[in-house]
């Protein structure tokens, strides 16, 4: 439960305590009780969105409204209500029905009634207070994974966790890998899921003719001083909205599709600089006769998230180390098992099915991304591994600096927060794959010994990369007795095989 809700609203706290007491009699597991309390907020949002109750959260307090809502749920809304219940394992109905049942037996409901007032202003302010304080739902990766099943999309649990943890580590993530493997779809479905309004995101295809920042930021009108030419894709409008004080707790997303169709450094240089310096991006000179609403400069606020998708072929450009160093790079692959499952159950995608479902978690998602107090649970294993990789990568000029090291620490802290049961070995594996390997590229003469060495660092003691290269049987990457960092090791094996076959290798693959 968000701390500020408890601190600010003693009335709601009392209701929640009553509800938890009631549920704890039915559920001995306290985690189940806490989960039900959190689910109340999601039930409440659905009821408000479907106009079954107002925004004052009176359904928890007023018996007449509880009875009225329950009546509607069992009549004209019965079909959609039961469908939601079926798709979400009962969480929509189970805690709600228990609460209705409990309240319907109470004759005196003084603790749960709304204070009556004739003061319209006071009533409106009270409703706004409740709305602002109670729509915050703790961000849940598992909830997203369940919801996207309704759109007929499937992504591995680990991929989704890496994606969210990377976004909360730093608001710039690059998705690369096999064309048609779901890179753009993951970004697209996430923003539709978490954004309440369509103006919270822009999906922009990068053009091969982008040679400067104008396609993203526009330019001052030289023929009409005092006016600014905004890009048609509304990227600048998105950035300006995200910077407004009233929007600081709402996430905004810029998705750059096919980001490397043009040289990234040419059109994205201002963004790369502002990400690190925190300084403003200048747009135009301040004039006394300025007419448009475009400010003279803009800032990239931490509630603005940038997701780039990348495909590698003869029409695209490679990323420079300066770009890769500023992002988490997540590679998409399709396994044989995943392809078999897809072919056996091909379904049409329906991204509208999940629009706005996760909007109640938007503020907690932004708060997590802004939280700089998070620390990894333990760092000894992490620091030891990073030091070993630093020594080897330095031999090829692919070593990492202070920025990457600190971002890996933050990544570990975010994963610890979102997935407390995840072991540090897994977190290190993901960090190596996303932050260290993307900059590795070069010839056989340059990389042969280095790839062998960092490959060996991904194995348990006594194991050698050469043994896996020469064996005829398919490698079992889930064999933890031999492989310590399976995600990174599988990538290094592919890179090494490319090196042997072509005399050159890089992280990026077609």
pLDDT score of 287 more than 90: no
Among 111-120, 139-148, 282-291, 364-373, the range of highest mean pLDDT: 364-373
CA–CA separation, 128 vs 140, rounded Å? 25
CA–CA separation, 228 vs 237, rounded Å? 12
Share of the chain above pLDDT 70, in %: 73
Weakest mean pLDDT among 11-15, 135-139, 225-229, 247-251: 11-15
Judge whether 244 and 188 are in contact, CB under 8 Å. no
Residue where the block lists tokens 């780039």: 308
Kind and range of the H or E element at 402?
Answer: helix 402-418
In which band, very low, low, confident or very high, does the pLDDT at 414 lie, cut at 50, 70 and 90? Answer: very high
Determine the average pLDDT of the residues in 329-346: 86
Hey, where are the domains in the chain?
A: 3-134, 141-369, 371-506
Judge whether 437 and 325 are in contact, CB under 8 Å. no
Residues 6+ apart with CB under 8 A from 487: 158, 429, 430, 432, 433
Span 213-226, pLDDT tens digits: 999 999 988 888 88
How far is CA 117 from its chain centroid? 42
Q: Which two tokens stand for residue 112?
A: 């749960």
Judge whether 235 and 204 are in contact, CB under 8 Å. yes
CA–CA separation, 366 vs 448, rounded Å? 43
Q: What is the DSSP letter of 59?
A: G
Kind and range of the H or E element at 38?
Answer: helix 30-49
Could you list the beta-strand ranges (E) of 338-469.
441-443
CA–CA separation, 54 vs 69, rounded Å? 11
Domain 141-369 has CATH 3.40.190.10: no
Alpha-carbon dihedral sign for residues 38, 40, 44, 46: positive
Among 1-10, 259-268, 468-477, the range of highest mean pLDDT: 259-268
Which is more confidently placed, 200 or 224? 200
pLDDT score of 206 more than 90: yes
Span 340-391, pLDDT tens digits: 888 887 777 777 778 888 888 899 999 999 998 888 878 899 999 999 999 9
Judge whether 403 and 276 are in contact, CB under 8 Å. yes
Q: Which two tokens stand for residue 223?
A: 């023929």
CA–CA separation, 448 vs 445, rounded Å? 6
SS3 state of residue 296: coil
Weakest mean pLDDT among 184-188, 349-353, 447-451: 349-353
pLDDT score of 116 more than 60: no
Share of the chain above pLDDT 90, in %: 45
Judge whether 304 and 252 are in contact, CB under 8 Å. yes
Phi/psi for 442 (5° steps) reads 155, -170
Q: Which two tokens stand for residue 470?
A: 């020469």
Judge whether 65 and 59 are in contact, CB under 8 Å. yes
**Mean per-residue pLDDT over the chain, rounded:** 81
Q: Which two tokens stand for residue 454?
A: 């960092």
């Amino acid at each position: 439960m968000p701390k500020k809700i408890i601190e600010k609203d003693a009335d709601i706290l009392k209701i929640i305590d009553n509800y938890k007491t009631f549920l704890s009699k039915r559920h001995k597991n306290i985690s189940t009780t806490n989960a039900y309390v959190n689910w109340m907020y999601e039930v409440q949002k659905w009821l408000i969105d479907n106009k079954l109750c107002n925004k004052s959260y009176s359904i928890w307090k007023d018996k007449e409204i509880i009875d009225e809502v329950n009546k509607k749920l069992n009549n004209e809304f019965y079909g959609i209500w039961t469908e939601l219940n079926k798709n979400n394992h009962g969480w929509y109905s189970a805690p709600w029905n228990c609460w209705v049942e409990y309240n319907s037996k109470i004759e005196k409901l003084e603790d749960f009634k709304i204070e009556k007032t004739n003061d319209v202003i006071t009533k409106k302010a009270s409703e706004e207070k409740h709305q602002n304080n109670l729509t915050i739902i703790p961000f849940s990766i598992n909830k997203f994974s369940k919801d996207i099943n309704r759109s007929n999309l499937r992504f591995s649990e680990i991929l989704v966790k890496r994606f969210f943890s990377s976004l909360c580590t730093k608001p710039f993530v690059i998705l690369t890998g096999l064309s048609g493997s779901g890179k753009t779809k993951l970004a697209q479905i996430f923003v539709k899921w978490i954004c309440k309004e369509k103006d919270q995101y822009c999906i922009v295809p990068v053009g091969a003719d982008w040679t400067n920042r104008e396609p993203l930021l526009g330019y001052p009108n030289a023929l009409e001083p005092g006016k600014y030419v905004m890009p048609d894709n509304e990227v600048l409008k998105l950035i300006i909205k995200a910077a407004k004080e009233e929007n600081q707790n709402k996430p905004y997303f810029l998705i750059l599709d096919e980001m490397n169709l043009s040289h990234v450094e040419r059109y994205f240089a201002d963004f790369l600089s502002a990400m690190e310096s925190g300084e403003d991006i200048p747009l135009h000179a301040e004039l006394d006769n300025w007419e448009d609403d475009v400010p003279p400069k803009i800032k990239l606020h931490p509630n603005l998230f940038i997701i780039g998708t990348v495909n590698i072929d003869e029409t695209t450009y490679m990323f420079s180390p300066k770009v890769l160093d500023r992002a988490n790079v997540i590679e998409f692959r399709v396994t044989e098992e995943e392809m078999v499952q897809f072919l056996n159950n091909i379904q049409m995608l329906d991204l509208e099915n999940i629009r706005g479902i996760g909007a109640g978690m938007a503020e907690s998602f932004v708060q997590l991304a802004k939280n700089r107090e998070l620390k990894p649970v333990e760092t000894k294993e992490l620091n030891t591994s990073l030091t070993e990789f630093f020594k080897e990568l330095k031999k090829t000029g692919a070593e990492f600096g202070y920025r990457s090291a600190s971002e890996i620490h933050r990544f570990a802290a975010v994963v610890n927060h979102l997935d407390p049961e995840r072991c540090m070995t897994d977190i290190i594996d993901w960090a190596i794959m996303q932050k260290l390997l993307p900059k590795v590229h070069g010839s056989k003469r340059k990389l042969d010994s280095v790839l062998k060495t960092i490959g060996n660092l991904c194995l348990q003691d006594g194991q050698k990369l050469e043994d896996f290269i020469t064996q005829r049987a398919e490698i079992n990457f889930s064999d933890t007795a031999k492989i310590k960092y399976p995600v990174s090791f599988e990538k290094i094996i592919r890179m090494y095989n490319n090196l042997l076959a072509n005399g050159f290798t890089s992280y990026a693959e077609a």
